[in-house]
């Protein structure tokens, strides 16, 4: 009995050590490029040379100052859930500018939850099903528990313009 208990404990320790660190699974995409799946943050993309598109897009993006002022007035009450794919060209286009705009508006990294999905647009924890994600990127803006709106794949104007419009519509 004691040997079975020790065996089960060792198995659990082994399985736990195989879990992805910080909720991120690093894998290879079908073209051999690095792909991340799981909960991430801006720094994870900014600091990894495999995702140079993020740093370049962030550096080059120039947010609209009028939209930034609108967002910054409500910044402390917002939280944002983002779904994207490191493999997705629309994510490459939208995500760096989104983060640059949110930084300019005073939205803290802790107010943004970034889910990186696989090619099936799924997360390990079921969040993609909860939010009914069918396309990426999808950016969902909340004030408290109230969903104000979302941007799916591309912005109608600019990402900060679309988010500012959600806030104006709810004033």
Question: Is residue 16 situated within a structural domain?
Answer: no
Rg of the chain (C-alpha set) = 18
Q: Which class for 7: exposed (0-12), middle (13-18), buried (19 or more C-beta within 10 A)?
A: exposed
pLDDT in the model for residue 170: 61
Structural domain contains residue 68: yes
Strand 138-143, strand 146-152: pairing: antiparallel
Kindly state whether residue 111 falls inside one of the protein's structural domains: yes
CATH code of residue 152: 3.40.30.10
What's the number of domains the chain is made of? Answer: 1
Give CA–CA dist 123/114, Å, rounded: 11
Domain-embedded: residue 9: no
Q: Per-residue pLDDT for the chain (171 aa), expressed as one digit of tens each?
A: 555 545 444 333 333 434 444 488 999 988 899 999 999 999 999 999 999 999 999 999 999 999 999 999 999 999 999 999 999 999 999 999 999 999 999 999 999 999 999 999 999 899 999 999 999 999 999 999 999 999 999 999 999 999 999 999 665
Q: What is the pTM of this model?
A: 0.85
Two tokens, residue 43 = 């720094």
Domain assignment of residue 2, yes or no: no
The reply to whether 47 falls in a domain is yes
- Domain residue limits at 85: 22-169
- What pLDDT score was predicted for residue 124? 87
The secondary element (H helix, E strand) that includes residue 91 is helix 89-105
- Under DSSP, the state recorded for 135 is S
Q: What is the pLDDT of residue 23?
A: 81
* Beta-sheet pairing, 24-28 with 34-40: antiparallel
């Amino acid at each position: 009995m004691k040997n079975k208990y020790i065996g089960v404990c060792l198995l659990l320790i082994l399985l736990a050590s195989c879990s992805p660190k910080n909720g991120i699974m690093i894998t290879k995409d079908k073209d051999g490029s690095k792909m991340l799946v799981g909960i991430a943050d801006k720094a994870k993309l900014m600091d990894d040379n495999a995702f140079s598109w993020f740093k370049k897009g962030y550096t080059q993006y120039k947010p609209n100052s009028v939209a930034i002022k609108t967002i910054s007035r409500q910044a402390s009450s917002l939280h944002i859930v983002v779904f994207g794919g490191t493999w997705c060209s629309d994510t490459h286009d939208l995500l760096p500018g989104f983060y640059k705009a949110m930084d300019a508006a005073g939205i803290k990294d802790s107010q943004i939850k970034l889910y990186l999905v696989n090619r099936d647009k799924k997360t390990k924890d079921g969040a993609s099903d909860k939010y009914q994600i069918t396309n990426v990127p999808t950016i969902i803006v909340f004030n408290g528990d109230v969903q104000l709106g979302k941007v799916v794949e591309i912005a109608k104007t600019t990402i900060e313009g679309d988010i500012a419009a959600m806030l104006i519509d709810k004033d």
